[in-house]
Structure 1
Amino acid sequence: MAFFDLPPEQLETYRPELATPPDLADFWNSTIAEARAFDLDVALVPVASGLTAIDVYDVTFSGFGGHRIKGWFLRPTGDAVVPAVVEYIGYGGGRGAPHERLAWAAAGWGHLVMDNRGQGSTWGVGGATPDPAPGGQGVPGFMTRGIADPHEHFYRRLFTDGVRAVDAVRTIPGVDPARVAVAGGSQGGAVTLAVAGLVPDLVAAMPDVPFLSHIDRALTLTDAYPYRELADYLRTHRGAEEGVRRTMSYFDVAGLARGATAPALFSVALMDLTCPPSTVYAAYNHYGHPDGSAIDVYRFNGHEGGEALRWARHREFLAGVLGGSN
């Protein structure tokens, strides 16, 4: 795949005007307040994982609508108070198996892996969280679930679950609530940016090749799924474009991330058809905490981006943010 988006020198300064609804702050403030009216009710069940240096827990907490959200919590064995990373998973995936994600706990961190409600059946080894909310008419996938009304949309629920995951990890004994970071790639990167914009006191955000940024541009720039789901819907629902764009504007993370107060480490891939580079740069250049933030560029990669190389960069970035210590 050749370069298909803006030239690199234009990407670096690409800061488009965003189609942000005037009531965006009220929409999300009321959404989070409604979710926090439910008892968080964090439940931790020890798991016999066979690991000798890492403790594993099956975790459940209340997310959007009080719905019970699953996850894994891993931490180094012992009584030390540790910082924590909350990780969000990519589109279609679930929390998987706990032994798939050992690096953070092995490095001395707590690690909450949040399950994706209603997902976990596309790749990996599955999830455990249903989505009990109705979705209305839509094409296969999650982009058009609740597309007629932002209050009913799937990503209102998932982003809220992400905020509540941070609330949950801060209640776990042995976690330092003042040292919590968020991370994820693709859809997980979108949730990372949304949470960074909605939670004011994180230590860092680490979104890799984030999805759902500058959606207006992505809709007509790429033919790849999941953005293609919106085009598939509009192909049948002729005349619905204005309403679709309005609904999705509430979940455009380039707009949400303008409220972020934590330094961020982004990554972008210049041959990425799934999350085109200009859409990633739109979020990066609008990001609310430019001081101390950075973006890693993978010139010849597609949506896979930096893959396993990202953990070392995340660890290095967090060491800098926290002054070289956990």
Structure 2
Amino acid sequence: MTPPAPFDPTYGYDLDRLLAVVAPQAPEDFADFWTLKYRRALAVDPGLALAPAADRRPGMRVWDCRYRSTDGITIGGWLLEPEQGAPQRGFLVGHGYGGIEQPDFPLPCAEAAYLVPCFRGIGRSRHAPISDNPTWHVLHDIDKPDRYIIGGCVQDLWIGVTALLTRFPGLAGHIGYMGISFGGGVGALALPWDERIGCGHLNVPTFGHQPLRLRLPTTGSAASQQRFAQTHGHVLETLAYYDAGSAARFIRQPMHIAAALFDPSVAPPTQFAIYNALAGPKQLFVLATGHAENPARIAQEHNLHDALTRFFCSDESRVPPLA
């Protein structure tokens, strides 16, 4: 691979070394910190509103959706549901930091409903004064651990689960999560505390091993955090509570992780820190590259889609509600 940046996007790690990366220990009050945020999110009535969407998917009915989240923010996105019959599974789908213009991702399960929210400040959920530019979005209230923007995005996800269950109460116990990059990191922070989500997939997830994120060169959102830290310091006082690797230690649900060996935006050791820390059943799909092109990308995406269909949709992989 030709590096798309003036540094080595493998960071000198081979697979064996990546599998040895240890995530940081969480602060002592980490669980209390997130449990309080979860309780606040559960207290919100999402007031899900739907309108027919211009987007089309074969076999699916597509709705434009809106729901209320914490801090008086309205979340916009899409809801996809089968044209025929009631959905047998439900998914929350988390987007990358570039946002999402339409729900054009592969669907692993045809008989499922998919809620695709735009996280606060981004895309259909723009909300002044939050910037939709990742460079600034990732810094919003970074000096205030309890107010940091990423915590609000996690609450958007949790309230999305509530919204999906108001539409389809029968999906209780049959909800999964799929998140890529930014959405992967948000998912890792959300899953430990929400037992309504029975299993998850994180694709090249960010926010893993925050001390490494602040040290390793990158073309991703961590670059702006590095610049901020150089000027202001004390960033880790906040980011220790938003470390997806530390959070993964608390995840008990079955998980599927796609992590890359070569990634200029989300350093591979920070991705593998999340996978390595997972405490429950887990599967790893190794990608040649993340956030970068490679000749085998299309074939690997097909293989990943097949793996997710087996993980989420086969009779053998059907995940019961957590005890």
TM-score range relative to shorter protein: 0.7 to 0.9
Give, as a single letter, the amino acid of the residue that structure 2 aligns with 1:114: P
Give, as a single letter, the amino acid of the residue that structure 1 aligns with 2:260: A
Per-residue displacement from partner, 1:199-255 (whole Å, max 9, x unpaired)? 124221100110000011121122322111012113333xx2xx2011011111111
Equivalent pair of 1:91/1:187 in contact (CA under 8 Å): yes
1:144 maps onto 2:139 in alignment: yes
1:102–1:58: structure 2 CA closer, same or farther, 3 Å change rule? farther
Percent of paired sites with the same residue? 24
Equivalent pair of 2:48/2:66 in contact (CA under 8 Å): yes
Query: In structure 1, how many angstroms separate the alpha carbons of the residues matched to 2:56 and 2:157?
Result: 29
Per-residue displacement from partner, 1:20-64 (whole Å, max 9, x unpaired)? 222211211111222222222122223354556321112222222
Give, as a single letter, the amino acid of the residue that structure 2 aligns with 1:103: L
1:102–1:220: structure 2 CA closer, same or farther, 3 Å change rule? closer
Which has the higher mean CA deviation after the structures are superposed, 152-161 or 64-73?
64-73
Aligned to 1:303: 291
1:250 maps onto 2:241 in alignment: yes
Aligned to 2:85: 79
Equivalent pair of 2:205/2:266 in contact (CA under 8 Å): yes
SS in 1 for 2:174: strand
SS in 2 for 1:170: helix
SS in 2 for 1:150: coil
Aligned to 2:308: 314
Residue from 97, 101, 104 that aligns with 2:102:
97
Calculate the TM-score normalised by the size of structure 2.
Answer: 0.85
Equivalent pair of 2:108/2:312 in contact (CA under 8 Å): no
SS in 1 for 2:253: coil
Which has the higher mean CA deviation after the structures are superposed, 168-177 or 304-313?
304-313
Give, as a single letter, the amino acid of the residue that structure 1 aligns with 2:271: V
Query: In structure 1, how many angstroms separate the alpha carbons of the residues matched to 2:313 and 2:255?
Result: 13
Residue from 294, 316, 321 that aligns with 1:323:
316
Shift of 1:101: 3.8
Equivalent pair of 1:56/1:73 in contact (CA under 8 Å): yes
Residue from 170, 173, 177 that aligns with 1:182:
177
Alignment of 1:1-326 (within 5 A): 1=3, 3-16=10-23, 18-47=24-53, 49=55, 53-94=59-100, 96-98=101-103, 100-101=104-105, 103-104=107-108, 107-119=110-122, 127-132=123-128, 140-173=135-168, 176-237=171-232, 240=233, 243-289=234-280, 291=281, 293-299=282-288, 301-304=289-292, 306-307=300-301, 309-320=303-314, 322-323=315-316
Give, as a single letter, the amino acid of the residue that structure 2 aligns with 1:318: F
Query: In structure 2, how many angstroms separate the alpha carbons of the residues matched to 1:52 and 1:142?
Result: 34
Greater RCO between the two (CA within 8 Å, min separation 6)?
A: 2
Give, as a single letter, the amino acid of the residue that structure 2 aligns with 1:298: L
Calculate the TM-score normalised by the size of structure 1.
Answer: 0.84
Shift of 1:65: 2.2
SS in 1 for 2:146: helix
Give, as a single letter, the amino acid of the residue that structure 1 aligns with 2:285: D
Runs (5+) with no aligned partner, structure 1: 120-126
1:139–1:40: structure 2 CA closer, same or farther, 3 Å change rule? closer
Query: In structure 2, how many angstroms separate the alpha carbons of the residues matched to 1:209 and 1:133?
Result: 28
Runs (5+) with no aligned partner, structure 2: none
Equivalent pair of 2:44/2:159 in contact (CA under 8 Å): no
Which has the higher mean CA deviation after the structures are superposed, 167-176 or 206-215?
167-176
Shift of 1:142: 1.7
Aligned to 1:122: none
Per-residue displacement from partner, 1:53-80 (whole Å, max 9, x unpaired)? 3211122222222422112111111232
Query: In structure 2, how many angstroms separate the alpha carbons of the residues matched to 1:104 and 1:75?
Result: 13
Per-residue displacement from partner, 1:118-156 (whole Å, max 9, x unpaired)? 12xxxxxxx211235669xx9942221111111121101
